[in-house]
A and B are shown apart, each in its own frame.
Chain A
Amino acid sequence: MGIVIAVISGKGGVGKTTAVANVGLGIAQQGKRCIVLDFDIGQRNLDMILGLENRVVYDMIHVMDGDASLQQALIRSKVDNNLYFLAASQSKDKSVLDSEKIEKLVRNLKKEFDFVILDAPAGIESGYEHTIEFADKAIVVVNPEVSSIRDSDRAIGILDSKSQRVKEGKEVGKYLIINRIVPEMVRSGQMLRSEDILDILDIKLLGKVPEDRGVIDASNQGKPVILNKDSLAGAAYKRIASRLCGEDIKMVDIESEGGGLFKKLTGMFK
């Protein structure tokens, strides 16, 4: 039985879809069977980032309504055989999301895959509560900005009250990705430090991803940045995927100069 992970944030545009595509591919590259689902009906673009936009025939609503089988609707990635994709509803009507149907779909996918990753709408959107309802774990993506942190805090609050697991008295594991960190700005005090963000959100750190222009290029080409061996962001997503697969990968201090040595030295004199 696989696990269901919802990738969430407070507001849009912080890097959820980018994280889903890269982490999903990273997990597949580790030999695990992984499916990524686009639940962000308003801003569905996971297909583009994965380079699969022209291959969508059936979407998630077709499957939920029984108009298509999972086999028909699942799209296999060209890059890795272990990665599959299920498209968001092509219809604009967001109310088509129905708890029972979602639960059934998720339950079926859990039987087939090791990881079921949901690209959620932003916490302020109406579809958000549906996406998180049946998640076992959540990955919260934030940018090091006060407004992003505050909105994510709210999304976590909703998760903690609306998820099925919480209603059953269990916990939903919550993990944090801090995305688009500009190390120089953190060092000069212009950008929030990871420690401060963790203080506010009080969830486990899963990884830190630097600002990287390669991300935008990669998305435009439909080749997730994790495939680019020289990209710092790509390396960060790779570490995150490995951690999710259970490997004990050390947290890299991407904020400091010289890969963490500087900070360790100053730390000794404190």
Chain B
Amino acid sequence: MQSKQYSLKVYETTVGEEEKFLSFFEANHILFKDHLIILRGEVSDRIRAYLTSKSLHFLENVTLPEGRPRRELAKELALEKTKQEVKEKMLQSELSKLTNRLENNLTVLDKMIRSGQELSIEGDLLLLNRVNSGATLSITGNLIITQVVEGAIRCSGQFMLLTASPKANIIFHGLEINNSYLEDKLNRVELKNNEVVITPVLKKDINWA
């Protein structure tokens, strides 16, 4: 015996007035292309012929095994959402302690990224060495670099912490960062309400002369 198992979308509807039913399907039949349509009530030959002409699949007055009740599903989704919200709130509260926010899949590297090298990192990166001119560093998470950057950075995490890097080419969430904003000894670049905000963390050395 050969058998296969499928999960597919089912659209269940009761045929009331024939005209209304037909005009609804005339407008929406595209949406049900990949569905199995279960029809309840009186099904006329006209309706059958129409659905067949649109290559739709349908069954009449059959009872299907019950799927997972909708309410349960909705509850689960709501729970997931609150979890996400709590997580985000916690993340926000950690805002002041930047290193604590390096939390998803952290990579720590003490390796010079040389010209011509392209390094892609999934998650967060703490880099204790330089990014030389001609090198490219792409990272999906947060980024802290303790040495000067002269190459290219592509970062789409929540924040970056960078030293003054006048020769760097830094793209944060698709936006090019003007290097003159990164003049301080240590600079924090972050996305707040869809805006890039740059704040000095450590000011430049005070020159008494």
List residues of A whose CB falls within 8 A of some B CB: 146, 150-151, 153-154, 156-158, 160, 199-200, 202
Contacts and interface: CB of A to CB of B under 8 A. Distances in A.
Given A150-B132, A154-B116, 6 more contacts: A150-B115, A150-B133, A153-B132, A157-B116, A158-B116, A160-B114
A199 B130 CA distance: 9
A137 B176 CA distance: 40
8 closest A-B pairs (Cβ-Cβ)?
A157-B114, A154-B116, A154-B115, A153-B115, A153-B114, A157-B117, A150-B133, A150-B115
A156 B134 CA distance: 13
Interface of B: 112, 114-117, 129-130, 132-134, 150
Contacts of B129: 202
B62 to A, nearest CB: 63
Contacts of B150: 200
B115 A151 contact: yes
19 contacts: A146-B133, A150-B133, A153-B114, A153-B115, A153-B116, A153-B132, A153-B133, A154-B116, A154-B134, A156-B114, A157-B114, A157-B115, A157-B116, A157-B117, A200-B130, A200-B132, A200-B150, A202-B129, A202-B130
Contacts of B115: 150-151, 153-154, 157
A200 B114 CA distance: 9
Nearest to A123: B116
A137 B133 CA distance: 24
Contacts of A151: 115
B134 A202 contact: no
Contacts of B133: 146, 150, 153, 200
A145 to B, nearest CB: 12
A202 B132 CA distance: 11
A143 to B, nearest CB: 16
Nearest to A153: B115
A150 B134 contact: yes
Nearest to A146: B133
A204 B84 CA distance: 50
A150 B113 CA distance: 12
A150 B151 CA distance: 10
A173 to B, nearest CB: 16
A55 B135 CA distance: 44
Contacts of B132: 150, 153, 200
B115 to A, nearest CB: 4
A85 B84 CA distance: 70
A111 B129 CA distance: 39
A202 B113 CA distance: 11
Nearest to B167: A146
Contact of A154 (B112, B114, B130): B114
A51 B134 CA distance: 39
Contacts of A153: 114-116, 132-134
A201 to B, nearest CB: 8
A202 B112 contact: yes
B152 to A, nearest CB: 13
B114 to A, nearest CB: 4
A147 B108 CA distance: 30
Contacts of A200: 130, 132-133, 150
B34 to A, nearest CB: 48
A95 to B, nearest CB: 23
Contacts of A154: 114-116, 134
Contacts of B134: 150, 153-154
A200 B129 CA distance: 10
A199 B133 CA distance: 12
Contacts of B114: 153-154, 156-157, 160
A171 to B, nearest CB: 13
A150 B116 CA distance: 9
